[in-house]
Every structure is written in C-alpha cells, then in structure tokens.
Structure 1
Amino acid sequence: MGTIKLKNIRVYAYHGCLVEEGKIGSDYRVDLSVKADLSKSAQTDDLADTVDYVHLNLIVKQEMAIRSKLLEQVAKRILDRILIEIPIVKLAKVEVSKINPPIGGNVAMVTIEMLKKRKDL
C-alpha cells in the first residue's frame, strides 16, 4: 500500500451560505491524499498501473467549480468521484479550506476534512 498526496491545490470558487459569497467568490485550498496498492506501478513504471495525479487534480477543479453552500458537500463530491473513477484507490482523504473566511474575525482559513473508504474492503 502506498500514498499519493496533492498539497495546496489553489482554486477560486463561489461556495458559502451568504449570497455575496456566490457573487464575489473566494480563495480555497484543497489537500488530497489517496491510498492504493502502488507495488505494480513500481515494477512496471507504467502510468496505467497507478493513480494519475493529473486525474485527481482535474476532479478537484471540476467539483470546486460547482457552487455549494457547505464545504462538506464539495468534499463529499470529490471523494465520491475519486472512488468511482479510480478503482485502484482504496481510501481517500480530502481537506477543503476557505482562505480568509467572512466570519467576523481575523481567521486565516477554515478547513473541513473528510475521509472515505472503498466499501468492498
């Protein structure tokens, strides 16, 4: 088993419960970690035998582009797509952070973290 991580994926998106957030948008950070059996790709040196991190990045960008009120909804969609589209992945963890959230204080970011395992484990 091995781990592939994508750190600090920067996205501009329009999530939030406030109407203004849907119009103005905000900066977001996404961190992603997936666990998979990487032993075959380590032997074959073939992209088809591993988790393509370009595919992971594309999933994140596409799901972040769909407006949601809650970051939990965005994270769930990201996790669901990873497990559906990349069969080698056994477990995925995503952190979605809103940079400078409008919460009436000096807060650098707010982060939600979610984890999902493949059901057939």
Structure 2
Amino acid sequence: MGIIKVENIRVFSYHGCLKEETKIGSDYRVDVKVKADLQKSAKTDNLDDTVDYVFLNKVIKEEMSIPSKLLETVAKRILDKIFKNDALVQKATVCISKLNPPIGGDVESVTIKMTDKRKK
C-alpha cells in the first residue's frame, strides 16, 4: 500500500448557510489523501497503474464549484466521486478549510475532515 496526497488546493467557492456567503463567496483550502496499492505502478512506471493526482485535483475543483450549505456535503461528494471513478483507491480523506470564516471573531480558518473506505 501507499499514500498519495494533494495538499493546499486553493479554490474560491460559494458555500455556507448565510445568504452573504453564497453571494460573495470565500477562499477555501482543500487537502486530499488516498490510500492505494502503488506496488504495480512503482514497477511499471505507468500512469494507468496508479492514482492520478490530476484526477484528484479535478474532482475537488468540480465538486467545490457546486454551492452547498455545509462543507460536510461537499466532502462527501468528493469522496463518493473518487471511489466511483478510481478502483485503486481503498481509503480517502478530504479536509476542507474555509479561510477567514464570517463567525464574528479573528479566526484564520475552520476545517472539516472526512474519511471513507471502499465498500466491499
């Protein structure tokens, strides 16, 4: 097994429960970590034998572009799409951070973290 991480993906999106959040948008940071068998790709040196991190980045950008009230909803969509489209992924974790959230204080970010495993 091995781990592939794509970190600090910066996205501007329109998530939130407040009306203003869905109108003006916010900056987000997304990190994804997937666990997969990387032994074959280590031997073959072939992109088709591994988890393509360009694919992971694309999934995150696509799902982050769909407005949602809760970051948990976005994280679940990201995880579902990863498992649906890449059979090599056995476990995945996604962290979504809203930067400078409008919560009435000097807060750098709020983050949700969600992990899922491939269903057998």
Query: TM-score over 0.5 for the alignment?
Result: yes
Match of residue 76 from structure 2: 76
The TM-score with structure 2 as length reference comes to: 0.99
RMSD of equivalent CA atoms: 0.3
Deviations 1:48-78 (A, max 9, x none): 0000000000000000000000000000000
Q: Which residues in structure 2 correspond to 1:82-101 (within 5 Å)?
A: 82-101=82-101
Aligned counterpart, 2:4: 4
Aligned to 2:50: 50
Q: What percent of counterpart residues are identical?
A: 66
Structure 1: stretches of 5+ with no match in the other structure: none
Structure 1 runs (4+) deviating above 2 angstroms are none
Give the superposition deviation at 1:24.
Answer: 0.1
Structure 2 residue matching 1:63: 3-state secondary structure: helix
CA deviation after TM superposition for structure 1 residue 14, in Å: 0.2
Deviation at 1:25, TM superposition (A): 0.2
SS class of match (1:102): coil
- Structure 1 distance, partners of 2:19, 2:104, is 16
What amino acid does structure 1 have at the position aligned with 2:21?
A: E
The answer to whether 1:18 aligns with 2:14 is no
Long gaps (5+) in structure 2: none
Distance 1:90 1:84 in 2: 11
What is the CA distance between 1:39 and its match in structure 2? 0.1
For 2:63, give the aligned amino acid.
E
Shift of 1:40: 0.2
In 2: Cα distance, 1:101 partner to 1:85 partner: 32
